[in-house]
Structure 1
Amino acid sequence: MRIAVIGGGPGGLYFSYLWKKRNPEDCVDLFEQNTAGATFGFGVVFSDEALEFLRADDPDTVDAIAPRMESWENITLNLRGESIAIDGVGFSSIGRLELLTLLQQQAHGVGVAPQFDSPLHSVDQLADYDLIVAADGLNSMVRRAFEGDFGTSLCYSSNKFAWYGTTKRFDTLSQTFIATERGTFNAHHYRYAPEMSTFLVECDRATWQAYGFAYKNGDESKAICEDLFADTLGGRFLVSNKSAWRSFPWVWNEHWSFKNMVLIGDALHSAHFSIGSGTRLAIEDAIALVKALEAEAHVATALARYEAERKPIVQKLVTAARTSADWYERFPEHMKLELMDFAYSYITRSGRIDDARLRAMSPGFMAQYEASRNKA
C-alpha cells in the first residue's frame, strides 16, 4: 500500500513510524510544509494515564521519551497570595521540539524520510496514493478542501491566550490567578525541561480589550505580561515563539474520512489546553487508525472502523474539555470563592471527578477540603 501523510507534527510522525514499523513493505511518504526544526509553542503535557495507554501499545516510544521528561504528582493553585496543592494528579512534560526530534529519529529508523519544506496545495498532487492521512493541524488543507464532506464545524472560545516560555523553573503544574484594576488573568505554568517552563497567559475578552492588546505588538504584550506576573516569574523574562494572542478554536468533524482521505489530530478535533494535550489525542488517533487498517482488508472498511471505534472515546474527552473551558470562561467569578472552595471548583470542573474519586485520587486535598467544610 502507498500512504501519503500530510503534516510532520506528532500525529503524522507517529502514524508514519508505527505503520512502517509494522508494515515495512509499504510505501509511507510524509510531507511537512515547514523545516525540520520549526515548531510552535514550548512544552507539551501527558498525564500518567496517557503514558500508560501509550506504553501498552508501544513501550519503545515511552522508553525513548521518558528519560527526557519532567514529572510531578501535584497541581498547585495560587490565588490572592495563597497556595493550595492538589495531590495525586500525575503529569509529565517534554519540549515540543525535543519530542518532534525523537519522533523524527524513530521514523528514520524504520525507513520513513520526512520531506520537509514540502507544502502541498491540493490533494490532486497525491493521486497515486491508496491512502491520504491528513495530520496537518488546525488549518488542515485537506479538511478545508472538503469541509462539507467531513461535516466540519468551527467556533472559538471568547477568552484570549498567549503561549510563552520562561527560564523560571516551576516544581509542579501550576495555575496563578491575579486580579488588576482593569481585569483578571490566569497563567498556566509548568516545567518541561530542567531549565525551561511553559507559561501560558489567559484572560477574558473584556480584560484583553481593557489592556489594548489588540493594538500592542509582540514585545509590548510580552512586557505587560512580565510585569503582571513579575512575582510569579521571580524576575525572569518571558520567551516568545510566535506568541500572539489567540482565541482557542473548537474544531469538530462529524465524518472522519472521505474517499481515501482520513483526518487525525487537530485536523480532526481540538481539545482545550486546560484538560489535556492535543499531542496525546493525535498519538492515540494514530494508534487507533493503525489498528483499524490492520484489522480490515479494504481501506474504506478500515476508515469506517476507525471512526466507529475511536469517535465515542474522543467525544467524551471533547465534552469534558468543553466543560473545563466553560469554567475558564468564568474564572473571574470563581476567583471570588474562598481558596478551598475555589480549588474544589477547579479540580471538579470537567464533570469527570466526583467526591468518591477525589478522595481516592487526592486524599490529602480532600481531607483539607472536607475539614474546611465542616468548620463552615
Structure 2
Amino acid sequence: MKISCVGAGPAGLYFAIVMKRRNPNHEIVVHERNPAGTTHGWGVVFWDDLLATLRTNDPDSARAIADQAVPWSGQVVDVEGQPPLHYGGGGYGICRRRLLQILIERALALGVDIRFESEICEPSQVADADLIVAADGVASQLRRHHADQFRPRIEAGRNKYIWLATTRQFSSFTFGFVPTHAGWVWFHAYSFKEGASTFIVECAPETWNALGLGTMVADAELRVLESIFAKHLDGHELISRDSHDNRLAWSSFRTLVNRSWHADNLVLIGDAAHTTHFTIGSGTRLAIDDAIALASALSEHDSLARALDVFELRRHRALARVQRDARLSAEWFENLPRYIRYNAPTFFTLLLARRSRLLKRIPARTYLYLRDRFTRLTDRTASPFARIGGPAHAFGSKANVGPAGPSLESPAVDAVSAGAG
C-alpha cells in the first residue's frame, strides 16, 4: 500500500512505525510542514499502561522512551492559605521534542520517508497515495476539504490557559491555586526532564482581563506570573517557547468532535479527529491508540473502505467516555469558585470527582453527602477518579471502583492510587 501521512506528531509517526512493522513493503511518506526539531508544548505525561502498549507494538521505541522518561511520584494539591496535601501514585514525563525525535529515528530505521518543510494543504497534492492519513492537528487543512462529510464541531472553552515551562523540577504532579485581587489563578506542573517541568497556567477570562494578561510584552507578563507563583517556583523562572508579536500565546481550549473520521481514502487521526481537555492528560495516549487501531483495521481487512469503517467505529466507541469526561473536567475548572471555598481535603475530593455527571447537577455538599451514603449503604467505595486519563469513574457515573475519598466532615483524605491532572 502507498500511504501519505500528513503531520509528524505522535499520531502520524507512530502510525507509520506500526504499519511498517506489520508489512515492510508498505511505501509510507510522512509530510511535516515545519522544519525538523520544531514542536509545540514542553512535556508529555503518561503512565505504565502506555509503556505496556508501546512495548507490545514496537519494543525498540518503547525502550528508548522508557530510558528518556523522568518519573514523578505522588501528587500535591496546594491551595494558598492552607497546608499543602500530599498523596500517592506516580507516572512519567518526557520532553515532547525528545519523544518526537525517538519516533522519527525509529520510523527512519524502518524505512519510512520523512519529509520536513513539506506542506500538504489538499488531497490532490498526494493524489497517487492509496491512503491519506491526516494527522495534521486540530486545525487540519485536509479536513476542510471534506468538511461536509467529516462535519467537524469545534467549541472553545471559557477559561484562558498557557503552556509554559519552568527550571524548577517538580518531583510530584502539582496543582497550585493562588488567589489574586482579580480572582484565582492556578497551575498544573510535572517534570519532563532533569531540571525542567511543564507549567500550565489557567484562569477565568475575567481574572485574565483584570490582571492585564495578554496586554503586556512576553517578558513582562512572565515576570507577573512568576510573582503570582513565587512561593511555588522558589526562585526559578518561567519560560515560553511560543509567542506572537512578542505576546504570550494564551488560548482557550478547543474541543473538536467529528461526526465522521474518513472520506474516500482520507482518514483523520489524533487531534485532527478529536481533542480532549488537557486536564485529563490523555492527548498523546489517544493519538497512539488511534495509530494502532488504524494499523490493526487495515491489517484485518482487504477492503480499504471496510477497514476505515471498522477503525472509525472502534475509536468512536473508545472515545465516547473519554470525551465526556474531558468536557466535565474542563467545566469543573470553569466553575472553580463553586468548589475552592471548601477546606483543602474536601476541595481535593471534589477535584478528583470532577468527571462525575452528578456533581455538576447538584450542590457540592449534597454530592458529598450522597457519596458518603452510597459507601455506607452498599459497602462499596465510590471512586472519585483514579488519575488523568485513567479508567476509573466518579460517583455519579455508570461505574464505581477504587478508593474512597473523604466526606465533607473528614479532616483528611485517604491516599489515592495514582496521580491526577
Matches within 5 A, 1:8-47: 8-47=8-47
- Say yes or no: does 1:180 pair with 2:180: yes
Do the aligned residues in 2 keep the contact of 1:169 with 1:194 (CA within 8 Å)? yes
> Aligned partners of 1:31, 1:140: CA distance in 2, in Å?
13
> Aligned partners of 2:63, 2:198: CA distance in 1, in Å?
23
Tell me, which stretches of 5 or more residues in structure 2 are unaligned?
A: 243-247, 360-370, 376-380, 388-401, 413-421
Change over 3 Å in CA distance of 1:196–1:37 after alignment to 2: same
SS at match of 1:270: coil
Change over 3 Å in CA distance of 1:214–1:240 after alignment to 2: closer
Q: State the superposition RMSD in angstroms.
A: 2.2
SS at match of 2:177: strand
Change over 3 Å in CA distance of 1:357–1:286 after alignment to 2: farther
> Aligned partners of 1:11, 1:96: CA distance in 2, in Å?
13
SS at match of 2:311: helix
Selected match of 1:282 from 277, 282, 287: 287
Do the aligned residues in 1 keep the contact of 2:154 with 2:257 (CA within 8 Å)? yes
Matches within 5 A, 1:30-179: 30-81=30-81, 82-88=83-89, 90-179=90-179
Q: Per-residue displacement from partner, 1:131-159 (whole Å, max 9, x unpaired)? A: 00000011111112222210100110010
Q: Which moved more, 1:100-109 or 1:56-65?
A: 56-65
Deviation at 1:199, TM superposition (A): 0.6
SS at match of 1:214: coil
Corresponding residue number in structure 2 for 1:252? 257
- Say yes or no: does 1:314 pair with 2:295: no
Tell me, which stretches of 5 or more residues in structure 1 are unaligned?
A: none
- Say yes or no: does 1:265 pair with 2:270: yes
Do the aligned residues in 1 keep the contact of 2:169 with 2:190 (CA within 8 Å)? yes
Change over 3 Å in CA distance of 1:342–1:225 after alignment to 2: same
Change over 3 Å in CA distance of 1:278–1:366 after alignment to 2: closer
Amino acid at match of 2:68: R
Change over 3 Å in CA distance of 1:156–1:360 after alignment to 2: closer
Q: Per-residue displacement from partner, 1:184-226 (whole Å, max 9, x unpaired)? A: 1011111100111001110001101111223223222212111
Change over 3 Å in CA distance of 1:344–1:360 after alignment to 2: closer
Q: Which moved more, 1:48-57 or 1:341-350?
A: 48-57
Count of residue correspondences: 372
> Aligned partners of 1:64, 1:10: CA distance in 2, in Å?
14
Amino acid at match of 1:320: D
> Aligned partners of 2:197, 2:290: CA distance in 1, in Å?
27
- Say yes or no: does 1:334 pair with 2:339: yes
> Aligned partners of 2:94, 2:331: CA distance in 1, in Å?
27
Do the aligned residues in 2 keep the contact of 1:44 with 1:277 (CA within 8 Å)? no
Deviation at 1:374, TM superposition (A): 7.7
> Aligned partners of 2:15, 2:84: CA distance in 1, in Å?
41
Q: Per-residue displacement from partner, 1:309-367 (whole Å, max 9, x unpaired)? A: 121111111111111111111123321111111000011211399872649969xx968
Amino acid at match of 1:84: L
> Aligned partners of 1:148, 1:368: CA distance in 2, in Å?
46
Selected match of 1:373 from 395, 410, 415: 410
- Say yes or no: does 1:346 pair with 2:351: yes
Matches within 5 A, 1:358-369: 358=383, 369=406
Deviation at 1:227, TM superposition (A): 1.2
> Aligned partners of 1:360, 1:256: CA distance in 2, in Å?
30
Amino acid at match of 2:59: P
Amino acid at match of 1:134: A
Q: Which moved more, 1:253-262 or 1:218-227?
A: 218-227
SS at match of 2:33: coil
Do the aligned residues in 2 keep the contact of 1:2 with 1:131 (CA within 8 Å)? yes
Do the aligned residues in 2 keep the contact of 1:340 with 1:372 (CA within 8 Å)? no
> Aligned partners of 2:208, 2:352: CA distance in 1, in Å?
26
SS at match of 1:40: coil
Q: Which moved more, 1:315-324 or 1:344-353?
A: 344-353
> Aligned partners of 1:152, 1:266: CA distance in 2, in Å?
12
Higher relative contact order (CA 8 A, sep 6+): 1
> Aligned partners of 2:411, 2:266: CA distance in 1, in Å?
57
> Aligned partners of 2:408, 2:145: CA distance in 1, in Å?
56
Change over 3 Å in CA distance of 1:202–1:258 after alignment to 2: same
Q: Per-residue displacement from partner, 1:26-56 (whole Å, max 9, x unpaired)? A: 1101100001100111001113333333334
SS at match of 1:4: strand
- Say yes or no: does 1:195 pair with 2:184: no
